Structure 1
Amino acid sequence: MFTNVVILTAGQTVYFGPRTKIISHFASLGYNCRQHQDPAEYFIDLANTDFEGHGDIVQLINGYASSAVAVRILNAIHADATGNHPIKSMLLTTPSPLQQFLVLLHRNLLNNVRNPGIYWVRLVTYTTLSSMVGTMYLSSNPKIVATDIVMLITYVNIYLVFLSIAVLPFFIEQRAVFLRERTNSGLNVGSYVLANFLGAIPGIFLIALSSTLLVGCLAGLNSYGVFLLVVFLSLVAAENLMHLISAVVPEFIIGMALGAAIFGWFILVMGLFVPAHAMPVYWRWSHHLGFLSYSFEALIFNQFGDDSTPAGLAVRAKYIPDTVHIGRDVAVLAGNAVAFELLFGLILYKFHTGRR
């Protein structure tokens, strides 16, 4: 793990040189490290005058000063001090935003893979519940009617989004790392935000794909591709909203309460409990504000848009406005995801500077 090792005692150098030479150096002074003994602990104990059993400190200091290791180190220091070094190479100390982005993206991807609490636990949970939901709403069951499918679609959409709250503690932990790195090395906020955004995409897509395949195949839903896209964008928007909340709240308990309240609000006004056309005017603005309204509208239209049966027509009349357009709903979901991430970056840039 180390190229060079330094051991000091009473302000004097006992050893400073390559790790590979330390055992032979001390052996030449009569201090042999046994085969199965920890060399680092052994040599530190030799130089530590606070405890009994230490070595002859004067011998250790003089032995190093006259050693070939010390001569080589002093020659290297002298050559470095008198050598000519281009000024340009001394100035290239801060990595570019692109370099920072690539490093941060790689780190985020590794963290997402290694930390089971970020995506793996959710993936197992979603897969299990999607299997249960799919088998409850089997397409071969003639007793399942159109209104039941509405509840199925609603549950899948709401549950997938709501469980995004679970990642909030990890985002707040990452914020502490961000503050330290921005203070110490001038971390680029744009690189950090973009790396966070793109690093989350594979895990979110895997969750959306698993849920779509299980629920869609078992329940016989229409247009798997549209269903997958809408669910995926809903999850991305929810994840980015958690990014935004993590930049605002001081601790994760407050953040989880705030996130649950926002999702509860969006669920209430998305058009399931009170259809949009029947919603009071003074609450209709919140229906248009919540991104769940657009995912609910798009998923219902995807399933019943071409259904000409009396039950299908009744669902369309109740839940789907005449102006519905899946392309527009998808664009709004994507816009929400981008807007949340931009606000996240703005708050980090303005308020999380790392300065006291």
Structure 2
Amino acid sequence: MKHTRDSEPDELGLSLKEAISASISRGKLVPGATNDINSSSMVPTFANPFWKEMVVLSKRSILNSKRMPQLFGTRLAAVLVTGFILATVFWQLDNSPKGVQERLGFFAFAMSTTYYTCADALPVFLQERYIFMRETAYNAYRRLSYVISNALVVLPGLIFLSFAFAMATFWAVGLDGGLSGFLFYFLMMFASFWSGSSFVTFLSGVVPHVMLGYTIVVAILAYFLLFSGFFINRDRIPVYWIWFHYLSLVKYPYEAVLQNEFENPTKCFVRGIQIFDNSPLGVVPPAMKVRLLQSLSNTLGMRITSSTCLTTGLDILKQEGITDLSKWNCLLITVAWGFLFRILFYFSLLLGSKNKRS
């Protein structure tokens, strides 16, 4: 009887198909497309299980990072330099009306900086795009494995950057809240780095060139900052642009750290004659301010002295239009943005690299 090549036993008593299947199950062969219709049921789609793909891809990403430590070092240096500049410019802010305005400026700049420093994640996938397309064309690993391993590998670096920035700025600026306030500030920084890194990673999956990607990142982050609520309060944003306010990635970290700073109802930021500080009457002598305050008290029919608290932290939050979400909700939404962009990154890979070898 004439035997086909596929059914011919080898030296170990296995047919060719059985030998191939055994090699694939041990991870020694990577299956590709085949023209044999009958063999498609015997050869698995992927050589390795999902968890093993993640381990291998994670090790490869870590190895690539170790080969180029200057990339993370440069990013860490940028974060530390930014933190040092902010700490020295906004050194030990007081609880005066000017101190309040300076706090608002510090938080807006600090939150936006975390997103801009995430732009270094843009060229990572763009440089690996053709390798990724070639390997996935041969079913070397699943796209989902690549996305999850990529997300897991960046987490330790984001945690370290968040802690470094929080340590460099929290106590130097004189922010409120003590240890619990610092921990929330650190968590919010980490959530911002996470969502920013995920956003840039998603863009790397849809833009073809690095320079085009950088242009888009800078432009979109500028729009996010514009509609975050710092330059214009939510109540003052035109109704046809209010949707962008809620899409702004900077909005939620900015509102969260403001609530973390001004949530204490017993802390006062405007007392007595300080009410004139942000007005043209701020330049008049203190004695004149006291007499003006007395006249104001007589007119209003209530006693207002130089020590009377006129504005608390909660009043500042209301003035800034931060009343719809709690700080913990803002934290959760920021983290959720990060997961959403990772999911979108997966779909961009799924739709953008469907090439298969035949």
Q: TM-score band (shorter)?
A: 0.7 to 0.9
**Letter of the 1:156 counterpart:** A
Contact 1:172–1:247 (Cα < 8 Å) also in 2: yes
Q: Which amino acid aligns with 1:220?
A: G
Contact 1:168/1:252, CA 8 A, preserved across alignment: yes
The residue aligned with 1:245 is 203
- How far residue 140 of structure 1 moved from its aligned partner, in angstroms, is 7.1
- The equivalent residue for 2:325 is 324
Q: CA deviation at 1:314?
A: 5.1
The size of the alignment, in residue pairs, is 277
Deviations 1:241-298 (A, max 9, x none): 1111111111111111111111111111000000111111111111011121111110
Letter paired with 2:88: T
Q: Which has the higher contact order (CA 8 A, sep 6+)?
A: 2
Q: Deviations over 1:89-109 (max 9, x none)?
A: 234141111110111112222
Alignment of 1:267-282 (within 5 A): 267-282=225-240
Which runs of 5 or more structure 2 residues have no equivalent in the other structure? Answer: 1-8, 30-46, 271-312
Q: CA deviation at 1:227?
A: 0.8
What CA distance in whole angstroms lies between the structure 2 residues aligned with 1:293 and 1:212?
19
Task: Mark the structure with the bigger radius of gyration.
Answer: 1
Alignment of 1:76-155 (within 5 A): 82-85=11-14, 87=18, 88-92=21-25, 93=29, 94-116=47-69, 118-139=71-92, 145-155=99-109
Q: State the percentage of identical aligned residues.
A: 21
1:303 aligns with 2:261: yes
Counterpart pick for 1:160 among 103, 114, 120: 114
Consecutive unaligned residues in structure 1, runs of 5 or more: 1-79
Task: Say if 2:355 is the partner of 1:354.
Answer: yes
In structure 2, distance between residues paired with 1:331 and 1:157: 16
Q: Which residue of 2 aligns with 1:171?
A: 125
* Structure 1 runs, 4 residues or longer, greater than 4 Å off: 140-144
Residues 202 and 341 in structure 2, CA contact (< 8 A), matched pair in contact too: yes
Per the TM alignment, residue 117 of structure 1 is displaced from its structure 2 partner at its CA by 5.2
Q: Partner of 1:37 in structure 2? A: none
* Partner AA of 1:150 in structure 2: L
Output the CA distance in 2 between the equivalents of 1:303 and 1:184.
Answer: 53
CA displacement at 1:347 relative to structure 2 = 1.3
TM-score by length of 1: 0.73
Give the letter for the 1:99 counterpart: K
User: Could you tell me how far apart the structure 2 residues matched to 1:281 and 1:140 are?
Assistant: 35
Length-normalised TM-score, structure 2: 0.72
Residue 219 (1) aligns with residue 220 (2): no
Letter in 2 for 1:82: E
Which piece of structure 1 moves more, 224-233 or 170-179?
170-179
Aligned AA (1:337): G
Q: Distance in 2 between matches of 1:112 and 1:91?
A: 30
